[in-house]
């Protein structure tokens, strides 16, 4: 395969989960080669069985997103086996609903490490690499909670997602001259299993009535937004946060 024919390579963190898996699946369908990463091999095996059983455009790797050395290892392995990496999607996250005054310092730090520290480390490792190559796309998954302070989620989750929006701007400004764009997507409530896990019993069924458009968001559509931001045509869009919240937050 010549370089002109070679598919761009995307690293997706948290690909073993609902939204991360949906994004990774859309990127594969669009023609990219995806390295799906997660902390759980079982989750990655489940993703591959569900979304990429018959394609050679998907590989998997274990990744602890709280460790800079782990990001560096995944980058090195991807470059060794696939030639280079063009796209990073920072999607790995943990969602907690602990009441504000019950959040312990340890829980606060744990949420920040997984949700925000991971975006910083991934953007630092891959951003430095991408600028040396003169091209790259970094896509960070934020949240409606970053903009409205959170409703069904905890204050630490909302704060971590707000930090992602800010980091997106910081890295976008730093890397703009190097052909690397950095953008974020801020989904509202999505139709994923996690929603039932974090809401009280019966609350999920009532959620559509609270959303102006009348239904939960489609994770596959978030995947389509990621495909757009990952494209080579998206060269003039950087530092932006795309809202996909059903009208719950309008600006």
- Is residue 146 within 8 A of residue 186, CB to CB? The reply is yes
What phi, psi does 177 have (nearest 5°)? -75, -10
For residues 115 and 93, what is the distance between their CA atoms, to the nearest angstrom?
A: 5
**Pairing mode, if any, of strands 58-62 and 241-244?**
unpaired
Domain ranges of the chain: 9-244
Residues in a beta bridge with 37:
61
Catalytic residue numbers read 157
For residues 122 and 112, what is the distance between their CA atoms, to the nearest angstrom?
A: 14
Task: Provide the mean pLDDT of the chain.
Answer: 93
Higher-pLDDT residue of 31, 217 = 31
Q: What is the homologous superfamily of the domain 9-244 according to CATH?
A: NAD(P)-binding Rossmann-like Domain (3.40.50.720)
Q: Render pLDDT for 98-131 as a digit per residue (tens, 0 to 9).
A: 999 999 999 999 999 999 999 999 999 999 999 9
Residue with tokens 């060794």: 80
Q: Render pLDDT for 192-225 as a digit per residue (tens, 0 to 9).
A: 776 666 666 666 677 788 888 999 889 999 999 9
Average pLDDT rounded to a whole number, residues 29-45: 96
For residues 34 and 59, what is the distance between their CA atoms, to the nearest angstrom?
A: 6
Residue with tokens 């995806």: 34
């Amino acid at each position: 395969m010549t370089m002109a024919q070679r598919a761009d390579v995307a690293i997706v963190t948290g690909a073993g989960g609902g939204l991360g898996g949906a994004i990774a699946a859309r990127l594969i369908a669009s023609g990219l080669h995806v390295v799906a990463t997660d902390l759980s091999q079982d989750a990655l095996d489940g993703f591959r069985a569900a979304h990429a059983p018959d394609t050679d455009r998907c590989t998997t790797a274990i990744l602890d997103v709280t460790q800079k050395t782990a990001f560096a290892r995944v980058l090195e392995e991807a470059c060794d086996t696939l030639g280079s990496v063009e796209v990073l999607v920072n999607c790995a996250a943990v969602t907690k609903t602990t009441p504000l005054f019950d959040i312990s310092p340890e829980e606060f730090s744990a949420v920040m490490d997984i949700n925000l520290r991971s975006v910083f480390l991934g953007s630092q490792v891959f951003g430095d690499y991408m600028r040396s190559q003169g091209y790259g796309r970094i896509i960070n998954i934020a949240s409606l909670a970053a903009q409205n302070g959170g409703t069904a989620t905890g204050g630490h989750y909302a704060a971590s997602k707000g930090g992602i929006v800010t980091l997106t701007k910081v890295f976008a400004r730093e890397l703009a001259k190097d052909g690397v764009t950095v953008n974020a997507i801020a989904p509202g409530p999505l139709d994923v299993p996690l929603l039932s896990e974090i809401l009280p019993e019966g609350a999920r069924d009532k959620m559509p009535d609270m959303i102006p458009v009348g239904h939960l968001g489609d994770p596959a559509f978030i995947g389509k937004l990621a495909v757009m931001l990952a494209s080579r045509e998206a060269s003039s869009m950087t530092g932006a946060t795309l809202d996909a919240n059903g009208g719950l937050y309008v600006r």
